[in-house]
Amino acid sequence: MRVSENKPSIGVWYDAYRGGEWAIFNQDRSPMSEDATFEVSIRKEPAAGAVFVHRDTPENTVDNETYIDHPSTNGNPDAVLSVTPNWNPGGGAGTYNDHPVDVRYDTDAEKWAILNTDLGPMPQSAAFNVEVSEGTATTG
């Protein structure tokens, strides 16, 4: 997801109670600006790379970073990751992460990490949609 003209950190959530719809929202719970625009990708066919949900746990998180442990990214510094905060993977209760996010490769751990770029702590149980593909990395 690529974002323009919307300053708060955004995320997506699944509303099972409104007919199973996805929504984009501001993590700080402020109203969405009327001129906000988003580039949304929806996969109707299996992606060429991996697509999965990464969940933050005490075992994979240090301060403002959560480390991804996945065969498509481990030991692969050339992987291209797109990440989107997901408030409630699978529906139900969710976790807010009101911080801008990005990714980085940790050469010592040989793993990718999703990080809060403002150095805010990663909230427990934060979740992210992750797509590993060829091309240009994006975060949203």
pLDDT in tens, 118-139: 999 999 999 999 999 864 445 5
Residues 6+ apart with CB under 8 A from 19: none
CA pair distance 30, 51, nearest whole angstrom: 29
Quote the pTM value: 0.77
Domain boundaries of the chain, sorted by first residue: 2-139
Q: Taking residues 16-39, report their average pLDDT.
A: 80
Half-sphere exposure of 136 (CA within 13 A, CB side): 3
Within 10 angstroms of residue 10's Cβ, the number of other Cβ atoms is 22
Helix (H, G, I), strand (E, B) or coil at 61: strand
Instruction: Compute CA distances 108 → 75, 105, 111, whole Å.
Output: 10, 9, 8
Type of residue numbered 42: I
- Give the model's pLDDT for residue 30: 84
Enter the tokens of residue 64: 């403002």
56-78 average pLDDT score: 95
pLDDT in tens, 34-58: 888 887 777 665 556 788 999 999 9
